[in-house]
Amino acid sequence: MNIEQARFNMIEQQIRPWEVLDAQILNLLSVVKREDFVPLAHKALAFVDMEIPLQAQGTSGQVMLAPRVQARLLQDLHLQQQDSVLEIGTGSGYMAALLAHRAGTVLSLEIDPQLAEQARKNLQAAGIVNVQVRQADGSQGAANDGPFDAILLSGSVAQVPQYLLDQLKVGGRLAAVVGQEPVMRACVITRTGAQEWATSQAWDTVAPRLQGFAEPSAFSF
């Protein structure tokens, strides 16, 4: 496989058509080596338009999101160089690496200890120094480390808890995939005041659930 050609095709055939047009982000996708964050068993799938399992057994469901979804979420956050970012769901560390290039500091929470350790190794090998990976249940956020300029949920939730929105600075943005299969929306929620938030629902997609977040009751009347 010609890796650089595959990377180029990923950007031009998957990501750019999904309205990711920020030149800095497109360039970043060429710089950060996605294949270095993919498990060895799935290296050949690094640039394919699909979610990549992060554990051999697949029991916990953790995956790398599809490249186009990661790129679009990154673009939607509109990060600045000085921003402090909270990511929930580190996975392999690839999204944290992208965030690190766009922001000042990144705190990334991963519930699975093996994934957290592997992500630390991946980030260190990539020379990323402004990311802290913490093994923790990210569903509660990190209030003691906030408030944050941006929060990214690297997976889907039924709804965004208010206590996560409270961890944003005024002007801060939270990006997440929200809803129930088969209908989910990528949402960006901006804190516009002390007790005010504005929500934009930008585009449709589907993503696996993040662990630890509440689900609505299955009962119907």
Mean pLDDT across the stretch 40-69?
84
Residue 140 included in any domain: yes
Percent of the chain with pLDDT over 70: 95
Domain limits for position 121: 3-204
DSSP designation for 157: E
Mean pLDDT across the stretch 40-62?
81
Residue 211 included in any domain: no
* pLDDT at residue 7 tops 80: yes
* pLDDT at residue 1 tops 70: no
> For position 41, what pLDDT does the model report?
87
| CATH number of residue 11's parent domain | 3.40.50.150
User: Could you tell me the pLDDT band of residue 59, with boundaries at 50, 70 and 90?
Assistant: very low
Using DSSP's 3-state secondary structure scheme, residue 84 falls into: strand
Q: At 162, which helix (H) or strand (E)?
A: helix 162-165
For residue range 93-127, what is the model confidence (pLDDT) as tens digits?
999 999 999 999 999 999 999 999 999 999 999 99
> For position 197, what pLDDT does the model report?
95
Residue 29 included in any domain: yes
Q: Which two tokens stand for residue 121?
A: 């190794």
> For position 106, what pLDDT does the model report?
98
- Taking the mean position of all CA atoms in its chain, how far away is CA 179? 16
* pLDDT at residue 57 tops 60: no
For residue range 161-197, what is the model confidence (pLDDT) as tens digits?
999 999 999 999 999 999 998 889 999 999 999 999 9
User: Could you tell me the pLDDT band of residue 201, with boundaries at 50, 70 and 90?
Assistant: confident
In terms of C-beta density within 10 A (0-12 exposed, 13-18 middle, 19 or more buried), how is residue 198 classed? exposed
**Whether 50 contacts 69, CB under 8 Å:** no
Report the candidate in 165, 154, 169 with the shortest Cα–Cα distance to residue 66.
Answer: 154
Residue 65 included in any domain: yes
Residue 30 included in any domain: yes
* Cα torsion 61, 160, 142, 83: sign: positive
Report the candidate in 179, 220, 219 with the shortest Cα–Cα distance to residue 203.
Answer: 179
State the total domains in the chain. Answer: 1
